[in-house]
Structure 1
Amino acid sequence: MNRLLPPPVPESQLPAAVDWAIVSRRAIRAFLPTPVPRALLLEILDVARHSASGVNMQPWQVHVLTGAAQQRLSAAILRAHDDPATLAGLQEPYPYYPAHWVSPFLERRRQLGWQLYGLLGITRDDKARMHAQHARNYRFFDAPAGLIFTVHAALAQGSLIDYGMFLQSLMVAARARGLDTCPQVAFTPFHHIVAQQLGLPDTQRLVCGMSLGYADPSRPENALVSPREPVAGFTHFHDDEGSGPVPLP
């Protein structure tokens, strides 16, 4: 795609189309077995590669898994996931979540968890079903394509910011083509297993995984629409005199 070309649709239609692709993106946790053609995957990645990055470092490395390769990785992680001794010895390549949760983030995390488990009929004391549901992460929620994202170990936290923009671009490009995704930090504790299965060099560290495919509309978990704070809850306008924040109407 030529980055200097005019828009392919009338400019009046652009905001609605872009906004729809962003707003309708959700984390989908059950997929149909319908294959995603490699040409379509390449098309999405070709769009996402234009994401912004500091001094144009473009820190992303993408590993696309389908078929037997995806199944082998899933099986290796699931063996570790089902072994408490192995789980206890795992270490993440970087801290994604805080060591100590504070408000309002703790409440938002709990709300999302119980919304999902509520749709699935999983009660608070049903640890076995919770474990089984968490394990679905490592099957890529049955999506036909699983993506693993890695970054060079020499890079710093700023490259993770760049990576977030790349991931968002990829998910929005997928959504615009009728596909759904689920970004998954759940893979990070299994960095060494992923590295072994994919033959990653020591210079690469795992950022996250992602499921990609066509959502299964019959599954109850796909009815989950996580709430978002209104703009007034996180935006502060400051006037020209610097007298402080101006509340939103």
Structure 2
Amino acid sequence: MANYIIEKRNMFNKDYLKVMLKDNTHLATIQKLLQEIQSISKVNITDNKRTDITIYPSEFYSAEETEEEVKIQLESFYTSQPLDPIFEADLLSKISSKAYDQIINEINVFGLNLEKYKSLYSKFDEEGFRDFFLPHLNSISRNHTATGETFNKIGKTDMLIQDSIGQNVFIAECKIWYGEKELLKAVDQLLERYVTWRDEQVALIIFNKHNAGFTSILEKSKEAMKTHSGYSSLVKENTQTSVSYLFMNADDNKKKIKIELMIFNCS
């Protein structure tokens, strides 16, 4: 049975959405989640016969476009598990592998949901893809904050998750696929500009937007990663489109960094 119902309504020639939840336990959390979506101007909790959520689209978005974004966010919210990353006792700089894997899984699930909505992702540039993921990443933990274009080391990384005292727990960079050379430049950017000595688990998220032959892109990207000068080893292939590698820290070759390469087909 569905966890929510969405209805499109109109008042004074302006379309808006009503979202009715099966269970209102997470009403405030979902309001916060939806309010961060770029296509939404305002989200109100409304007391009618049954408390529901009223959503007003932003000026440059139709109610239909906003509804698609709301559906993806809600589907991902209801299929995810609460996440509170923990640190290993002997390495304060290292987020637990379990928590890192959970974050990677959330991004993969959310990205796979996005692939179903061409009318939505066709309008995204790199910034649009990044902004689309952030509300969901912010909803999966009570004690952590996900931000975009956040300064770290000598540049602004696309996605940064920090704990309640500002320590980094996850860094990710988003790129549109333009070939192997650009992929390797993105690895350089991640390692040289954004990763400090204490950052040990990061991700590179690639979106194929302009090319046919997705299988070939997957093969080329995986081989290209192994040619990078900082490449150390392949950890594991989690799925066909999500692969873990070990790289050397750009400033300390004895320090290893785990990079998850995730690729989504949005063409």
TM-score (norm 1): 0.28
Q: Between Structure 1 and Structure 2, which shows a larger proportion of helix residues?
A: 1
User: Which structure exhibits the higher relative contact order, with contacts defined as CA atoms closer than 8 Å and separated by 6 or more residues?
Assistant: 1
If each structure's strand is expressed as a fraction of its own residues, which one has the higher value?
Answer: 2
- Taking structure 2 as the reference length, the TM-score comes to 0.26
